[in-house]
Copies of this chain bind each other. A is one copy, B any other.
Amino acid sequence: MKVIIFGRLHFGTVIVVCSSKIDVCPIGMIHRQNPDEDVNDRNLISKIMIDKQYSNGLLGIEDWSHLYVIYWMDRILDEKKTLLCPGSDSGMPTVGIFATRAPVRPNPIGLTLVELVRREENVLVVKGLDALDGTPVLDIKPYPYWLKGRWIVITKYKTPAYLGKINK
């Protein structure tokens, strides 16, 4: 793994130059009961098959009820899209890709918070994972944050008003 990034300051504007890529190796993959099911149905159960070389890394994971799953959306085309229009209704504003969870993004990294149903050796059975069958998994982390003796869950937050017009 080799990463070289140069940060240069020019007249108050920072130019970040990405001169090298980062190599990430999948730690496992997602297996759905039915490859054609609606991945947005948060009640569906799916499995995360962890590579045998990392199965020790799951020790004690049953003590957590919820996990973040970080995965690579490998069915996404390698587009350099930075803007999109959320939803299918007219009148929606154009927003930047980092202001959305849309899968077409510079790095198609997916992040979903799932419920851990149970562990079966190197397999995690989870509920609510909205990733396609066969998707490579990059990392798994427990939820929520633990810092200096307390749990951090954000319950006061601001969101865009236009989202209230979608899915109603």
Contacts and interface: CB of A to CB of B under 8 A. Distances in A.
A136 to B, nearest CB: 6
Nearest to A67: B98
A77 B15 CA distance: 27
Given A111-B70, A160-B64, A22 B26 contact: yes
A59 B5 contact: no
A134 B7 contact: yes
Interface in A123-168: 123, 134, 136, 138-149, 151-155, 157-163, 166-168
A113 B113 CA distance: 13
B24 A21 contact: yes
Interface in A89-103: 93-101
A109 B70 contact: yes
A72 B158 CA distance: 27
A134 B5 CA distance: 8
A26 B17 CA distance: 9
16 contacts: A1-B78, A3-B136, A5-B29, A16-B52, A18-B26, A18-B136, A21-B23, A21-B24, A22-B23, A60-B95, A61-B96, A63-B158, A65-B159, A66-B154, A111-B139, A144-B157
